[in-house]
Amino acid sequence: MPDNPAIQGVREAFLAQFPAASSDQALKALHDAFLSRKSGQLTALMKTLSTLAPEERRDFGQAVNTLKTEIETAIDEKRAALEATRQPSGGVDVTLPGRTLPMGRIHPLMRVRRDVEDIFTHMGYEILEGPEVEDDFHNFEALNMPPDHPARDMQDTLYLDAPVAGGTWGAHRFEGGQRGTVPEAQVRAATLLRTHTSAMQIRYMKTFPPPVRIIVPGRVYRRDNLDRSHTPMFQQFEGLVVGEGITLADLKGTLEAMMRALFGEGVKVRLRPSFFPYTEPSAEVDVSCRACGGSGCGTCKQTGWLEILGSGMVHPAVFEAVGYDPDKYTGFAFGMGMERVAMLRYGVDDIRLFYENDLRFLEQFPV
């Protein structure tokens, strides 16, 4: 049935005004004019309901409601379209340049560690770590340093169980104490923070038979005061090779290959006689000064050489402690400070800089 002329009149009035309503305010005004509960034209139509014959009321009410829905839908759709034109591409300006994220870097000590690990992996070595908390046997005794050995004085040890007041741990100096006043059994039972990665040599050799080719990177601890060349915690590399017929020449060749890989082809290496309880003979290893090329400067104290590591042929007493036959096997070992290598490589003159995490320092290293 055709719409009641009154309803059709309101529809036409709305359709006449709708196209020109192109702002939020105009749409709001249009909405109020037709749909407002108080004064809207549809409200006025509904009020005429009571004047109709009862049989006409139902159709009339439905027709008004249909028109109401039409008007609401039209207004809502246009409002949404207006909103969309205000947010091109979902509100993102795709022509803006991106934000630059700061680039992270590898810590210089980690760079040195990775490089050394690469060098020795290519030479067929195994890389392993060991416990930082050690016992007296692995850190000292099996490395040819029995409880009263004077060489224990070379490494100020951090013990985890408190020593007897005024006493001394074996040969280890202790405030106000005397050498040897703690019973040997107690010394042997001590737990400590390892003073060198050499402790892992013992653990490995006790577990596996020769041949041995290992590198042990890791943290070690000494009772040192913090200054520009000492930290109570630092990082070492231990190298150990054991087999039949291993000689000092193998040690020298290995060290030369490592130093060339770390510092460049032109670097020279020299061995100086030294002493460590667990190697015989023992040698300090120097590399030619990179700063002056060997002619002498402040960095190398005018000598042309820089001390870089300690090394030697494994002492037969160490082989005996782990159950290797010292008549059959020989081997070499070396221990090197990672900080020392990083300092020489990057020209850093204060070891504390590696542990302060100052971004101004760390940002100077290559990515």
- Closer Cβ to Zn ion, 154 or 292, answer by number: 292
- Closer Cβ to Zn ion, 289 or 333, answer by number: 289
- Closer Cβ to Zn ion, 128 or 291, answer by number: 291
Residues that bind Zn ion (CB under 5 A): 289, 291-292, 297, 299-300
Q: How far is the CB of 263 from Zn ion (least distance, A)?
A: 13
Q: How far is the CB of 303 from Zn ion (least distance, A)?
A: 8
Q: How far is the CB of 305 from Zn ion (least distance, A)?
A: 8
DSSP 183-236: -HHHHHT-EEE-SSTTHHHHHHHHHSPSPEEEEEEEEEE-----BTTB-SEEEE
Q: How many residues does the chain have?
A: 367
- Closer Cβ to Zn ion, 199 or 300, answer by number: 300
Tell which residue, 220, 191, 162, 193, has the closest CA to residue 336. Answer: 220
CA distance 126 to 255: 17
Q: Are 108 and 353 in contact (CB under 8 A)?
A: no
Q: Two tokens at 127?
A: 């890389």
- Number of helices (H), then strands (E), belonging to the chain: the values are 12, 10
Q: How far is the CB of 293 from Zn ion (least distance, A)?
A: 8
Handedness of CA 347, 349, 284, 223 (dihedral sign): negative
Q: Are 242 and 331 in contact (CB under 8 A)?
A: yes
Bridge partners, residue 336, by sequence: 237, 309
How does DSSP classify residue 230?
B
Region class of 293: left (phi > 0), else alpha (psi between -120 and 50), else beta? left
Consecutive H or E run containing 306: strand 305-314
Question: Distance between alpha carbon 90 and the CA centroid of its chain, in Å?
Answer: 38
- Closer Cβ to Zn ion, 43 or 299, answer by number: 299
Q: Are 271 and 310 in contact (CB under 8 A)?
A: no
Rg of the chain over CA atoms, in angstroms? 43
Tell which residue, 199, 203, 140, 216, has the closest CA to residue 172. Answer: 140
Q: Are 352 and 228 in contact (CB under 8 A)?
A: yes
- Closer Cβ to Zn ion, 287 or 314, answer by number: 287
- Closer Cβ to Zn ion, 190 or 300, answer by number: 300
- Closer Cβ to Zn ion, 173 or 345, answer by number: 345
Q: How far is the CB of 301 from Zn ion (least distance, A)?
A: 8
State the residue number with the nearest CB to Zn ion.
289
Q: How far is the CB of 289 from Zn ion (least distance, A)?
A: 3
- Closer Cβ to Zn ion, 161 or 350, answer by number: 350
Q: How far is the CB of 365 from Zn ion (least distance, A)?
A: 22
> Cα torsion at 248, 251, 256, 262 (round to 10°)?
-160
